[in-house]
Amino acid sequence: MIVGLDIGGTKIEGVGLEKDLPLGSYNTLITHREPTDKSNYQDFLASVMRVIDKVASCGQIESIGIGCCGSVGSDGLMQGANVTVLNGQDFIGDLKARIDVPVAIANDADCLALSEYRDGAAKQATSSCVAVIVGTGCGSGVIINNGLVTGLNKLGGELGHNPLPNYSPEKDGKQIKCYCGSLNCSESFVSGSGFGRTFSEKYFTADSKQIMSMVAEGDSRAIEHFDLYCDQLARVLASIVNMIDPEIIVLGGGMSNVDAIYPKVQSKLAQYTFTKSVKTKVIKNVHGDSSGVRGAAFLHLI
Ligand SMILES: [Zn+2]
């Protein structure tokens, strides 16, 4: 059994998966959730171990993959995690001391890419796919030649902090400084919160769900703004095609649930790619909220 853990600010979810040998897909043997104990590192570690122990009651664990914000620094210690008790800790080392199996860690976009590439929306891809999360933020996970691209600086896929391609204040609204320090980051426009921010700047305060309700009711301002959003997203995805040229781009995160995005973005994509007959498909994820735990479990298989 391979195990995936998804560590978030409110809960820790664990899943035990076993390969279905004739079909080659993975069956879920067990899932278990615990609230994330953030009071101190030792209590946090204990809550992680409670999830692992529960999952282990279903079979022998071969490996553990962890989906988590933050990353392991060059000194082996955690950094940049929003569960802040993790930062500065040898989290992987401490887990290995408690359960002697291979342990790996990746971020949510990498886990989405692995989950969908292995047996989800991108399973027909033969060697490459990019998964893009358009939710609260925007990031991507990149698979090339069957391998996850993390990179020298652990920045592989940090697409959301490239400037929005073809940005113009007349079309896209006034320039905005991102929390990362850069101007006009793609995330400030194509994340779900960016979609709401740019609408609110132009008309009145509304979030992405409210805007999409207005689109459904035929509100011309909301429809025009949604068209602009799809154009901005097409520009961002076209930059992926021009750089990596993946077979499939899978969308995840809150905005990926808006079905009207797919035909609009697909039809606009070729306006911004180097070739005008682009074959790359932009499709919705299959595994939804389970992508975090599933992709984490697959970290050792790729
Ligand atoms: Zn940024």
Residue holding tokens 């391998």? Answer: 147
- Cα of 159 vs centre of ligand 1, distance in Å, is 9
Calculate how far, in angstroms, residue 289's C-alpha sits from the geometric centre of ligand 1: 25
Q: Is the pTM of this model over 0.95?
A: no
59 contacts 1 by C-beta, under 8 angstroms? yes
Distance 5 CA to ligand 1 centre (A): 27
Q: How far is the CA of 109 from the centre of ligand 1 (A)?
A: 16
Q: How far is 196 from 185, CA to CA, in rounded Å?
A: 15
How far apart are the C-alpha atoms of 280 and 69, rounded to whole Å? 29
pLDDT tens across the length of the chain (302 residues): 999 999 988 889 999 999 877 766 788 999 999 999 989 999 999 999 999 999 999 999 999 999 987 788 888 899 878 788 999 999 999 999 999 999 999 988 999 999 999 889 999 999 999 999 999 889 999 999 989 998 887 788 889 999 999 999 999 999 999 988 999 999 999 999 999 999 999 999 999 999 999 999 999 999 999 999 999 999 999 999 999 999 999 999 999 999 999 999 999 999 999 998 999 999 999 998 888 899 999 998 87
106 alpha carbon – ligand 1 mean position (Å): 20
Q: How far is the CA of 62 from the centre of ligand 1 (A)?
A: 38
Q: For residue 192, how far is its CA from the centre of ligand 1 (angstroms)? A: 15
C-alpha 55 – ligand 1 centre gap (Å)? 37
Pairing of strands 103-106, 63-68: parallel
Other C-beta atoms closer than 10 Å to the C-beta of 82 total 13
**Cβ atoms < 10 Å from Cβ of 109:** 29
Distance 135 CA to ligand 1 centre (A): 15
Q: Rounded to the nearest whole angstrom, what is the distance from the C-alpha of residue 20 to the centroid of ligand 1? A: 41
Copy the structure tokens of residue 299. Answer: 């970290």
**Ligand 1 centroid vs 176 CA: distance in angstroms?**
10
CA 104, CA 300: separation in Å to the nearest integer? Answer: 7
177 alpha carbon – ligand 1 mean position (Å): 8
Q: What is the pLDDT of residue 110?
A: 93
Q: Which amino acid is at 289?
A: D
Q: How far is the CA of 228 from the centre of ligand 1 (A)?
A: 20
CA of 168 to the centre of ligand 1 (A): 17
CA distance 242 to 273: 6
The residue written with tokens 């697909």 in the block is: 266
Are the C-beta atoms of 258 and 134 separated by less than 8 Å?
A: no
Distance (angstroms) between ligand 1 centre and the Cα of 187 equals 7
Structure tokens at 133: 């999360």
The kind and range of the H/E element at 224 are: helix 220-243
CB contact set of 202 (below 8 Å; sequence gap of 6+):
173, 221, 225
